């Protein structure tokens, strides 16, 4: 293992990135700017055991598209500087929304750790996570943290070092707790685990187009080495303007154009929308399997009431009973005011005459 590990902290704004960055680096920080843009670049050092970690606080982003300077900086840092580990700081109390970035990091194929931060808030909201299962879905070790209390920092560092050492590659097949006590997620992904874990799949039509472009990318030496071929194929189909400008091969561009046209015709929506929709579908499926919430329990109580009130046998009598009650209330409670109004108009009539 390298004696120095580069770690990039990614995450949605307000997920607690800076808090965790400060916890890990203390006063050993350096603040600069990314070249050419006014996006702040914060770096710091952290010593864990005898391993030195260089930690970079990436700008907060919801996605890895080419829409904003922040997203471009975050994405290009990961692609160009190839940090040994990317830690996605997730606001676990808003899990589904935050996992959108995690899916994209997973697709990018980077060694990934997910910090489920704000786990105190998530708990207060009644969420319970099956982190082992989520870890298999997202191909990343997961650590629950409370940034502002410093909880989970040691476990996070263990997971980072474990990921830098063993990677998140499929070659790691030991289906057991690792030496650091952090569950080695990759171990369970394909090889030894009996339960197959679905990988992010965009559906037959889109997958067919991805495969065609992916093949052309792999044959093209100028882009093949730099990018994960599947990721680039997806991004091109998403019509990512920066990457479409970067890829100059006419063969690839022609295939991308054809692919987008075909997909928009058969899907009836933009490829961008369809691809984002598939990502959200994946997240929602994973959460349905691995996140429990007491809000769900509240749901089931209201479901139970519904099942009585809406039932075929009791529904009508309950409805008629309620109507009778409304009728009674209207006339018994409505009687006195009706009398007052009657008297008032009688009096008014007398005055006019």
Question: In whole angstroms, what is the distance from residue 91 CA to residue 330 CA?
Answer: 51
Site for ligand GDP in 55-84 (CB under 6 A): 60
- 117, 131, 185, 188: which one binds ligand GDP (CB under 6 A): 117
Least Å distance, CB 323 to ligand GDP, is: 48
The DSSP code for 177 is B
Tokens of 173: 């097949």
- 58, 99, 118, 134: which one binds ligand GDP (CB under 6 A): 118
- 5, 8, 10, 19: which one binds ligand GDP (CB under 6 A): 19
Which residues fall within 8 angstroms of residue 179, CB to CB, at 6 or more apart? none
- Please check whether residue 59 is in contact with residue 76, taking contact to mean a CB–CB distance below 8 angstroms: no
148 binding Mg ion? (CB under 5 A): no
Residue whose C-beta lies closest to ligand GDP: 147
Residue whose C-beta lies closest to Mg ion: 18
Q: Which stretch binds ligand GDP (CB under 6 A): 12-20, 66-74, 246-254, 344-352?
A: 12-20
16 binding ligand GDP? (CB under 6 A): yes
> Sign of the CA dihedral 144, 147, 148, 149?
positive
Question: In whole angstroms, what is the distance from residue 325 CA to residue 287 CA?
Answer: 44
In the bound state with Mg ion, the residue whose beta carbon lies nearer, of 75 and 136, is 75
18 binding ligand GDP? (CB under 6 A): yes
Least Å distance, CB 232 to Mg ion, is: 29
Tokens of 107: 């697709």
Neighbour tally for 242: CB within 10 Å? 15
In the bound state with ligand GDP, the residue whose beta carbon lies nearer, of 143 and 278, is 143
Tokens of 105: 């990091």
DSSP notation for 124-164: HTTEEE-HHHHHHHHTSEEEE-BGGGTBTHHHHHHHHHHHH
281: left (phi over 0), alpha (psi -120 to 50) or beta: alpha
Q: Which stretch binds ligand GDP (CB under 6 A): 145-153, 175-183, 260-268, 329-337?
A: 145-153
**By rule CB under 6 A, what count of residues binds ligand GDP?**
16
Which residues fall within 8 angstroms of residue 296, CB to CB, at 6 or more apart? none
33 binding ligand GDP? (CB under 6 A): no
111 binding ligand GDP? (CB under 6 A): no
Site for Mg ion in 4-23 (CB under 5 A): 17-18
Question: In whole angstroms, what is the distance from residue 164 CA to residue 289 CA?
Answer: 28
Q: Residue 73: which of 112, 101, 40 has the closest Cα?
A: 40
Least Å distance, CB 257 to Mg ion, is: 39
26 binding ligand GDP? (CB under 6 A): no
Least Å distance, CB 57 to ligand GDP, is: 7
- 1, 2, 13, 348: which one binds ligand GDP (CB under 6 A): 13
In the bound state with ligand GDP, the residue whose beta carbon lies nearer, of 40 and 261, is 40
Residue 53 contacts which entry, ligand GDP, Mg ion, none (Cβ below 5-8 A, type-dependent): none
Site for ligand GDP in 172-211 (CB under 6 A): none
Which residues fall within 8 angstroms of residue 349, CB to CB, at 6 or more apart? none
**Alpha carbons within 13 A on the beta-carbon side of 190:** 6
Exposure string of 5-21, with b = 16+ CB inside 10 Å and e = fewer, is bbbbbbbbeebbbbbbb
With tokens 């044959």, the residue in question is 219
5 binding ligand GDP? (CB under 6 A): no
Residues forming the site for ligand GDP (CB under 6 A): 11, 13-19, 60, 117-118, 120-121, 146-148
Residues forming the site for Mg ion (CB under 5 A): 17-18
């Amino acid at each position: 293992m390298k004696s120095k590990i580069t770690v990039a902290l990614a995450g949605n704004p307000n997920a607690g990135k800076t808090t965790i960055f400060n916890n890990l680096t203390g006063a050993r920080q350096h603040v600069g700017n990314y070249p050419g843009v006014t996006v702040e670049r914060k770096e710091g050092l952290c010593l864990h055991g005898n391993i030195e970690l260089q930690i970079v606080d990436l700008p907060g982003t919801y996605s890895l598209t080419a829409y904003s300077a922040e997203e471009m900086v975050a994405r290009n840092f990961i692609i160009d500087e190839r940090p040994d580990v990317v830690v996605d700081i997730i606001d676990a109390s808003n899990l589904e929304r935050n996992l959108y970035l995690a899916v994209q990091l997973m697709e990018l194929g980077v060694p990934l750790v997910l910090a489920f931060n704000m786990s105190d808030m998530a708990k207060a909201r009644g969420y319970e996570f099956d982190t082992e299962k989520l870890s298999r879905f997202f191909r990343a070790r997961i650590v629950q943290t409370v940034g502002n209390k410093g909880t989970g920092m040691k476990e996070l560092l263990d997971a980072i070092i474990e990921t830098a050492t063993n990677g998140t590659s499929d070659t790691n097949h030991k289906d057991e707790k690792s030496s650091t006590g952090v569950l080695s997620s990759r171990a369970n992904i394909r090889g030894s685990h009996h339960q197959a874990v679905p990988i992010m799949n965009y559906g037959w039509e889109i997958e067919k187009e991805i495969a065609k472009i992916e093949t052309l990318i792999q044959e093209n030496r100028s882009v093949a080495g730099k990018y994960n071929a599947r990721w680039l194929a997806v991004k091109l189909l998403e019509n990512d303007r920066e990457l479409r400008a970067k890829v100059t091969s006419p063969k690839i561009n022609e295939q991308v154009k054809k692919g987008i046209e075909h997909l928009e015709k058969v899907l009836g929506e933009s490829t961008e929308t369809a691809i984002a929709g598939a990502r959200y579908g994946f997240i929602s499926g994973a959460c349905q399997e691995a996140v429990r919430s007491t809000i769900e329990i509240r749901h089931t109580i209201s479901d139970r009431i519904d099942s009585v009130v809406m039932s075929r046998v009791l529904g009508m009598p309950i409805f008629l009973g309620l109507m009778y009650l409304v009728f009674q209330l209207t006339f018994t409670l409505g009687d006195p005011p009706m009398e007052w109004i009657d008297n008032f108009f009688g009096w008014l009539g007398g005055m006019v005459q």
